[in-house]
Structure 1
Amino acid sequence: MTTAPSPLVPQPFPHQAPLLRVDGLTRHFTVSGTRIDVLHDCTFDVFRGEVVAIIGQSGSGKSTLLSLLGLLDKPSGGEYTFDGVATSRLGEGPRSRLRGEGIGFVFQQFHLLERRSALANVGVPLVLAGMPALRRRSRSRDLLEAVGLGHRLHSKPHQLSGGEQQRVALARALSRDPALILADEPTGALDAESSRMIMDQLLEQARIRDSAVVVVTHDPKVAERADRVVELVEGRTR
Structure 2
Amino acid sequence: MTAEGPYPVAVTMRKPGPPLLRVRGITRHFMVSGTRIDVLHDCTFDVSRGEVVAIVGQSGSGKSTLLNVLGLLDKPSSGSYVFDGVETTPLREGRRSRLRGEGIGFVFQQFHLLERRTALANVGVPMVLGGVPVLRRRARAKELLESVGLGHRLSSQPHQLSGGEQQRVALARALSREPALILADEPTGALDAASSTMIMDQLFDQSRVRDAAVVVVTHDPKVAERADRVVELVEGRTR
What TM-score comes out, normalization by structure 1 length? 0.94
Matched, 1:162 2:136: no
Q: Could you say what the CA RMSD is over the residues aligned between the two structures, in angstroms?
A: 0.9
Pairwise CA distance, 1:81: 0.4
Runs of 4 or more consecutive aligned structure 1 residues displaced over 3 Å after TM superposition: none
Matched, 1:125 2:126: yes
Pairwise CA distance, 1:12: 4.4
Percent of counterpart pairs with the same letter? 82
Pairwise CA distance, 1:146: 0.2
Pairwise CA distance, 1:89: 1.6
Report the equivalent of 1:51.
Answer: 52
The aligned runs of 1:13-28 (5 Å cut-off) are: 13=16, 16-28=17-29
| Counterpart residue type for residue 17 of structure 1 | P
| Counterpart residue type for residue 199 of structure 1 | M
Report the equivalent of 2:178.
Answer: 177
The secondary structure found in structure 1 opposite 2:73 is: coil
| Counterpart residue type for residue 128 of structure 2 | V
Q: For each residue in 1:43-99, what CA deviation from the matched residue of structure 2 results, as whole angstroms up to 9, or x when unmatched? A: 000000000000000000000000000000000010100011000121111100000
The secondary structure found in structure 1 opposite 2:106 is: strand
Q: For each residue in 1:136-186, what CA deviation from the matched residue of structure 2 results, as whole angstroms up to 9, or x when unmatched? A: 110000000000000000000000000000000000000000000000000
The secondary structure found in structure 1 opposite 2:89 is: helix
| Counterpart residue type for residue 168 of structure 2 | R
Report the equivalent of 1:6.
Answer: none
Structure 1: state its 5+ residue gaps. 1-10
Q: Distance in 2 between matches of 1:211 and 1:78?
A: 24
Q: Distance in 1 between matches of 2:41 and 2:202?
A: 33
The aligned runs of 1:1-238 (5 Å cut-off) are: 12-13=15-16, 16-238=17-239
Q: Distance in 1 between matches of 2:111 and 2:206?
A: 18
Q: Distance in 2 between matches of 1:87 and 1:12?
A: 26
The secondary structure found in structure 1 opposite 2:204 is: helix
Report the equivalent of 1:4.
Answer: none
Q: Distance in 1 between matches of 2:146 and 2:15?
A: 31
Q: For each residue in 1:196-220, what CA deviation from the matched residue of structure 2 results, as whole angstroms up to 9, or x when unmatched? A: 0000000001100000000000011
| Counterpart residue type for residue 150 of structure 1 | G
What TM-score comes out, normalization by structure 2 length? 0.93
| Counterpart residue type for residue 237 of structure 1 | T
| Counterpart residue type for residue 214 of structure 1 | V
Equivalent pairs counted in the alignment come to: 226
| Counterpart residue type for residue 159 of structure 1 | Q
